[in-house]
Structure 1
Amino acid sequence: MKPSSLSLIIFLLGAAISAASAQQKDSAWLEKLLRAQASPLLQNVLNKPDTFQYQIIYTSIDRDKHNRPHFKHYYYNVDRNRYFNPASTVKLPAALAALEKLNSLKATGIDKYTSMLTDSAYSSQTTVLADSTSENGLPSVAHYINKVFLVSDNDAYNRLYEFVGQQQLNESLWQKGYKQVRITRRFTPMTEEENRHTNPIRFVQDGKLLYAQPAAHSNAVFDFSKKVQVGKAHWDWDDKLINEPMDFTTHNNLPLDDLRQILQSVLFPESVPAQQRFNLTPQDYAFLYEHMPKLPFESAYPRYDTTEFFDSYTKFFMYKAGKSKVPEYMRIYNKPGWSYGFLTDAAYIADLKNKVEFMLSAVIYVNSDGVLNDGKYEYEEIGYPFFKEIGDIVYKYELGRKRKYKPDLSRFKPGNL
Structure 2
Amino acid sequence: MRKIYLLCSVIIFLCWHSHANAQAKNSLFLEKILNKIPDSIFREVYHHPEKYRLQIIYTQINRDKHNKPSFTNYYFNVDSNLYFNPASTVKMPLSFLALQKLHQINVSGVNKFTTMLTDSSYSKQTSATSDSTSATGFPSVAQYIRKVFLISDNDAYNRLYEFLEQQYINRELHKRGYTDVNISRRFTAMNDDENRHTNEIRFLDNNGELLYQQPPAYNTDSFDYHQIIKMGKAHWNNNDSLINTPMDFTTANKISLEDLQQIEQSVLFPSSVPPNKRFDLSDEDYPFLYQYMSQYPSETNYPKYDTSVYYDSYVKNYFKNASHKIPPYIRVFNKPGWAYGFLTDISYVADFENRVEFMLSCTLYVNSDGVLNDNKYDYDSVGYPFLYTLGQSIYQYELQRKRKHKPDLSRFIIRYDQRNPNDTRKAIKDADN
TM-score by length of 1: 0.93
Q: What is the match of residue 26 of structure 1?
A: 26
- What's the CA shift string for 1:379-401, capped at 9, x where partnerless? 00000011000111111110001
Change (3 A) 1:349 1:66: same
Q: Which has the larger radius of gyration?
A: 2
Q: Aligned pair 1:320/2:323, yes or no?
A: no
Matches of 1:314 and 1:261, distance apart in 2: 20
Matches of 1:28 and 1:38, distance apart in 2: 18
Matches of 1:33 and 1:143, distance apart in 2: 40
The aligned runs of 1:247-396 (5 Å cut-off) are 247-317=248-318, 319-322=319-322, 324-396=324-396
Amino acid at match of 1:41: I
- What's the CA shift string for 1:101-156, capped at 9, x where partnerless? 00001234300000000001000000000000000100000000000000000000
Q: What is the match of residue 164 of structure 1?
A: 164
Q: CA deviation at 1:415?
A: 2.8
Matches of 2:386 and 2:167, distance apart in 1: 36
Q: What is the match of residue 149 of structure 2?
A: 149
Q: What is the match of residue 221 of structure 1?
A: 222
Change (3 A) 1:232 1:378: same
- What's the CA shift string for 1:237-294, capped at 9, x where partnerless? 0000000000000000010011000000000000000000000000011111111101
Asked if the contact 2:291–2:416 (Cα under 8 Å) also holds between the matched residues in 1, the reply is no
Matches of 1:76 and 1:188, distance apart in 2: 33
- Partner of 1:262: helix, strand, or coil? helix
Q: CA deviation at 1:157?
A: 0.4
Q: What is the match of residue 183 of structure 1?
A: 183
- What's the CA shift string for 1:214-255, capped at 9, x where partnerless? 000011221112110011100000000000000000000010
- Partner of 1:282: helix, strand, or coil? coil
Matches of 1:88 and 1:235, distance apart in 2: 20
Matches of 1:286 and 1:47, distance apart in 2: 40
Matches of 2:190 and 2:58, distance apart in 1: 36
Q: Percent identity?
A: 56
Q: CA deviation at 1:23?
A: 2.2
Q: CA deviation at 1:414?
A: 2.0
- Partner of 1:41: helix, strand, or coil? helix
Q: CA deviation at 1:323?
A: 5.3
Q: What is the match of residue 56 of structure 1?
A: 56
Amino acid at match of 2:259: D
Amino acid at match of 1:162: E
Matches of 1:49 and 1:23, distance apart in 2: 14
Q: What is the match of residue 427 of structure 2?
A: none
- What's the CA shift string for 1:189-231, capped at 9, x where partnerless? 0000000000001000121100000000011221112110011
Q: What is the match of residue 78 of structure 2?
A: 78
Q: CA deviation at 1:346?
A: 0.5
- Partner of 1:25: helix, strand, or coil? coil
The aligned runs of 1:199-210 (5 Å cut-off) are 199-205=199-205, 206-210=207-211
Asked if the contact 2:107–2:211 (Cα under 8 Å) also holds between the matched residues in 1, the reply is no
- What's the CA shift string for 1:57-112, capped at 9, x where partnerless? 10010000110100011000111110000000000011111101000012343000
Asked if the contact 2:163–2:198 (Cα under 8 Å) also holds between the matched residues in 1, the reply is yes
Amino acid at match of 2:215: P
Asked if the contact 1:166–1:220 (Cα under 8 Å) also holds between the matched residues in 2, the reply is no
- What's the CA shift string for 1:305-332, capped at 9, x where partnerless? 0011011111111x22435211221111
Asked if the contact 1:116–1:139 (Cα under 8 Å) also holds between the matched residues in 2, the reply is yes
- Partner of 1:124: helix, strand, or coil? coil
Matches of 2:221 and 2:184, distance apart in 1: 9
Q: CA deviation at 1:178?
A: 1.0
Matches of 2:107 and 2:227, distance apart in 1: 42
- What's the CA shift string for 1:164-206, capped at 9, x where partnerless? 0000000000000111111001000000000000000100012
- Partner of 2:132: helix, strand, or coil? coil
Q: What is the match of residue 408 of structure 1?
A: 408
Structure 2 runs not aligned, ≥5 long:
1-18, 418-433
The aligned runs of 1:98-177 (5 Å cut-off) are 98-177=98-177
Matches of 1:186 and 1:38, distance apart in 2: 40
Amino acid at match of 1:253: K
Matches of 1:234 and 1:415, distance apart in 2: 45
Asked if the contact 2:295–2:416 (Cα under 8 Å) also holds between the matched residues in 1, the reply is no
Matches of 1:92 and 1:41, distance apart in 2: 29
TM-score by length of 2: 0.90
Matches of 2:118 and 2:411, distance apart in 1: 35
**How many residues align structurally?**
398
Q: CA deviation at 1:46?
A: 1.1
Matches of 1:308 and 1:176, distance apart in 2: 37
Amino acid at match of 1:285: Y
Matches of 2:322 and 2:226, distance apart in 1: 42
Matches of 1:55 and 1:354, distance apart in 2: 28
The aligned runs of 1:236-247 (5 Å cut-off) are 236-247=237-248
Amino acid at match of 2:204: V
Q: What is the match of residue 90 of structure 2?
A: 90
- What's the CA shift string for 1:333-359, capped at 9, x where partnerless? 100000000000000000011100000
Asked if the contact 2:166–2:219 (Cα under 8 Å) also holds between the matched residues in 1, the reply is yes
Matches of 2:188 and 2:122, distance apart in 1: 14
Matches of 1:312 and 1:38, distance apart in 2: 24
Matches of 1:416 and 1:69, distance apart in 2: 25
